[in-house]
A and B are shown apart, each in its own frame.
Chain A
Amino acid sequence: DQQVKQNSPSLSVQEGRISILNCDYTNSMFDYFLWYKKYPAEGPTFLISISSIKDKNEDGRFTVFLNKSAKHLSLHIVPSQPGDSAVYFCAAMTYNAGNMLTFGGGTRLMVKP
């Protein structure tokens, strides 16, 4: 049973526009959520995170929104750049559970020039 789901396997966006990547989870014990970016032939790179006590966290062009009642989070990238083209993984963990991550299946983002 997948506890973290990314229902869109791919997303295509025009350069300069907003990219919105979505993630849903089922485990209400998750209290920390992360987004990782992965280029081909490289490991995942930590991008941004949010604690369950917040509903928004912003870092430059990247903003993560958390809706706990809906068990949904999203990553907004604005403006999107061609260099943002990668696979984005949503992940979740529970405090004091050894930092164990549960990953979603990933969304491939393509930003067209």
Chain B
Amino acid sequence: DTGVSQNPRHKITKRGQNVTFRCDPISEHNRLYWYRQTLGQGPEFLTYFQNEAQLEKSRLLSDRFSAERPKGSFSTLEIQRTEQGDSAMYLCASTPGGGVETQYFGPGTRLLVL
């Protein structure tokens, strides 16, 4: 499968625990985006990378959230000290850049914080 992949697909954790999600974009896509989606809402932008550089972060991204893309390929999103309000679907998307703006989404990681 050459599409965007995300792992794990589901995560159940207890409040206060840390979780980390991984996104593998389409090969050679230099832009990678993270979104959060809750029921009945569209995806909400969290952060975006061009290659390994994190270029923009949403105000939604509290200091408990951190994202990395160390080699400009896969990316990780970590949530520290999870709260029940963090329960959501976390989507990753990549675009090739260079004027092609179509977002190719991954299947998402569904997080449930108990």
Interaction A to B:
no
